[in-house]
Chain A
Amino acid sequence: MKPLTRQDLVELAARPATDPPAWIRVQLDTGGIAAGAETVHAALEHARVEQHLPFALLRTGSVGYSFADPVIEVQTPLMPRVLYGRMTPELAPRLLDEHVAGRRLLDDHVIATRQRGLVLDAPVSQILVLDTGSEATNKTEFFQFSFQEELKRRGLSERVQVVRALDLGIYDEGAVVQLLPGGVTYTNVLAPDVARIVGESIEAGRVLDDLLWKTPDKQVRIVLRHCGKIDPDSTDDYLRRAEGYQAFARAVFDLTPEQVIAELKVSALRGRGGAGFPTWMKWQLTRAQPVGQRYVICNGDEGDPGAFMDRSVLESDPHAVLEGMMIAAYAMGASQGYFYIRAEYPRAVERVQLALVQARELGLLGRNILGSGFDFDAKIRLGAGAFVCGEETALIASIEGRRGSPSPRPPYPSVRGLWGKPTAINNVETLAIVPAILLRGGAWFASHGTDTSKGTKVFAVTGKVRNAQLVEVPMGTTLSEIVFDVCGGVLDGHEIKAVQTGGPSGGVIPVHLLDTPVSYETLQQLGSIMGSGGMLVMDKGDSMVEAGIQNGDIAIIKSSDTAETGEIVVALIDDTEATLKRLRKKGASIALEPANAAYETRIFGPDRVKIQGRLAGLYRRYN
């Protein structure tokens, strides 16, 4: 491959690629593949060849809708672009028959667009319906039937299709209807509204203001801007369809390193790994060190259980992270970078490895990049299953080939880091944001978020939530907006109890505090942390203590043969069974209370129970 020049990038910027008229993108990240995306891809390929259909079958990363994996996106002429979730290989031939050839959407798989329209400027061709109320009284089919009947009565059933949707991104708003292709959305639709919608909106093109859903989508995609849209294994896609390496070219040719740092300062971007240290300051401190070898490290040792945004970004948009690293390296004068990625993320490792090879072939890594005089290269180092290695000094020890023991700071890595040289360690998400800031400007980024926490943050919302997914929202969005409005709250018949943020070292935020806007400061005030962005939803069936005391934890017990009511104790029952329970003295008898409603409290006579000690602490090993 011929090395790229500055001129090539200028031309690429002027002529971005246009999409082919018909395509299907299959989202192949680890989550999608686990759900069977590879077999879906193979079945689509097979059916495409068999039916001689002219569309491009493309591979992309994940848009983040884990709850609906495997997800595909379909664009064919004269049809709205749609996402289909919960695809199966068996559905592939039907999809091609009905959607691609027959121009009809499939029932029960469409995930509606979150970019909802407010005006009807094009004739309606499909009506998506979904009852978002209680599952027990689901009326989706009733509404589908009513709309079909109404359309038939007015002679419109040839022109307009009524489709049961899988998800509309709106929850607990009764029957919801979205009109395609414009995306006008009505909520709390009742049976009498059906005739009005068909008569006024579909026939006459008037929007019904009383039903219209005006709340704009809570999500803003900056980090995830290319995820699910481009092929992570294709530099061509990144260069032509994602403004690839334009931000880097702008930095090296048009800006001094100081100007790059100044732009970051305007953006007020803070580290997305958890602590929220201002990124510009980290770079500035590293840059201020005496001239010599400096390093930049991408921290991809995403260890918090429940967090998977770094994996998803590395798998879906690896070049963006590399470009962010290159800009960081230019700003602080580093010539060598390291990606430290967990070995448990083989696909992320694979895709970053490929991105590095491709970048080297294109002359984007190596000596005199794009003729700018700037030299830089990057390598991968694998983590090996040590939670603590997400910590900066432990991570450095691990890259140096030693056991990952943290060391006290100062000196900070920006002064004495990898092999004693000044080093800046940035999180995956932080680096993925950097090119966007350089292209759109720091002020644009800072226009999102709160006073002290700017921009957007990606959260991996999982646990007992209806729709587990990656969510990217401006800082300042409340926890309940994330959990309820974006992810649909907890499943039917369950009640939310708490949300854990920041992983094991974070905190559990009870339900009455869920209206807290998310920012570094507010979460800290609640005694939790932002962490890298894992957000675990717990419902009332899960015991808090069980979520706190896990299988394999070592309980530190203060030896004692007495204890007060309410204390957690180790008790020996009948000299045979030892158990850790909460003690309640009830008259002469002793009750041992579990911390999980699924178990029953056991009551014994005083002669059967011996107290062995009281819980004084917990010790947990992460490897």
Chain B
Amino acid sequence: MKPSQMMSEIESEAAGLRDADEAALIEFLEKAEQKHGFIPRDISEEVGRLLEVKLERLRRIQGKLESTIRRDVQEHVNHWRSEEGNLIMVLHAIQNQHGYIPREVAMELSRELGVKLARIYEVITFYHYFKLQPPGAHSVTICNGTACYLKGSGDLINELRSQLGIVEGQTTPDRQIHFDTVRCIGCCGMAPAMVVDGRTCGRVRSSDIAGHIDGLRAKKEAVA
């Protein structure tokens, strides 16, 4: 192959890179290395330039995220600013917004309140109600308080385990359904009770579980 022909080929190869994602870039580099025995300078420069463009874009997205986080956190904090001991109420507001307490938000909260991150985590991890992992799109919670326990919440838990293939505290791999237990929701008169997406159901039988799960899955399809 003539050098000039090779160069134009490399140029055209590099030109096709503009829309490639990371995996494609790596594959392309490996192919170039196999083909030429080395990575031609034109290609490495083009890949480098593309990466920088991507990085810049990512930085802009991150900046945007951070300013949103900052704005949200400031909003929550301002609402509770004048109140002493507001940390727990701000954490409630954050969890209501995100469904959990994202690490970046906790960090921003630490800056905004002037409270050490360790102390914020001390509070988050102490209280069972606060979550550090994003919940599933839907949630199923079985009450395992003593009244529900006596009325057979164990059977409901087993049924959910086998239906969902996960144990309590976990989210299905498709992040659709989060399954958890709770100590007592004060519906002991309706035991055993469970909460499906915030709706409390009483006197639940194992045979009802499949219907509830199907209901949630159907909701998901309706949305999609």
Which A residues are within 8 Å of any B CB, using their own CB? 30-31, 33-35, 66-67, 69, 302-308, 311-312, 342-346, 379, 381-387, 398-404, 419, 460, 462-464, 468-470, 500, 503-504, 534, 536, 538, 542, 547, 550-551, 622-623
Contact = CB atoms under 8 A, between A and B. Distances in A.
Nearest to B125: A403
Interface residues of B, number: 42
Contacts of A387: 183
23 contacts: A30-B200, A34-B199, A35-B202, A35-B203, A66-B189, A69-B190, A306-B145, A307-B184, A384-B129, A385-B130, A386-B127, A398-B88, A404-B127, A460-B189, A463-B188, A468-B147, A500-B146, A504-B146, A536-B150, A551-B144, A551-B154, A623-B127, A623-B183
Contact of B123 (A403, A470, A500): A403
Nearest to A38: B199
A403 B126 contact: yes
Contacts of B47: none
A468 B191 contact: yes
Contacts of A463: 146-147, 150-151, 188, 191
A346 B126 CA distance: 20
Contacts of B201: 34
Contacts of A534: 146, 188
B66 to A, nearest CB: 25
B85 interface: yes
Contacts of A35: 190, 202-203
B126 A400 contact: no
A419 B84 contact: yes
A34 B148 CA distance: 14
Contacts of A551: 144, 154
B179 interface: no
Nearest to B153: A551
A401 B146 contact: no
B217 to A, nearest CB: 22
B15 interface: no
In the complex, the 9 A-B pairs of residues with the closest C-beta atoms, listed nearest first? A66-B189, A305-B145, A384-B127, A385-B128, A401-B85, A385-B129, A623-B128, A401-B87, A403-B126
Interface of B: 83-89, 91-92, 122-123, 126-130, 144-151, 154, 182-191, 193, 198-203
Nearest to A346: B198
A30 B188 contact: no
A599 B205 CA distance: 22
Contacts of B130: 384-385
Given A31-B202, A305-B146, A344-B182, A386 B126 contact: yes
| Most chain B Cβ neighbours within 10 Å, of A69, A401, A504, A551 | A401
Given A462-B147, A468-B188, 18 more contacts: A30-B185, A31-B187, A31-B190, A34-B202, A306-B145, A308-B186, A308-B189, A344-B184, A346-B198, A384-B128, A384-B130, A385-B130, A400-B84, A402-B87, A464-B150, A468-B190, A470-B189, A534-B146
A21 B177 CA distance: 49
A462 B188 contact: yes
B184 A304 contact: yes
B188 A401 contact: no
B184 A384 contact: no
A418 B187 CA distance: 31
A623 B130 CA distance: 11
| Most chain A Cβ neighbours within 10 Å, of B87, B147, B190, B201 | B147
Contacts of A30: 185-187, 200
B88 A381 contact: yes
Contact of A307 (B84, B188, B191, B200): B188
B126 A344 contact: no
Contacts of A399: 85
Nearest to A312: B186
Contact of B185 (A344, A462, A503): A344
Contact of A303 (B149, B184, B187, B191): B184
B159 to A, nearest CB: 15
A134 B15 CA distance: 87
A200 B86 CA distance: 70
A356 to B, nearest CB: 14
A343 B183 contact: no
A463 B185 CA distance: 14
Contacts of A401: 84-89, 123
Nearest to B130: A384
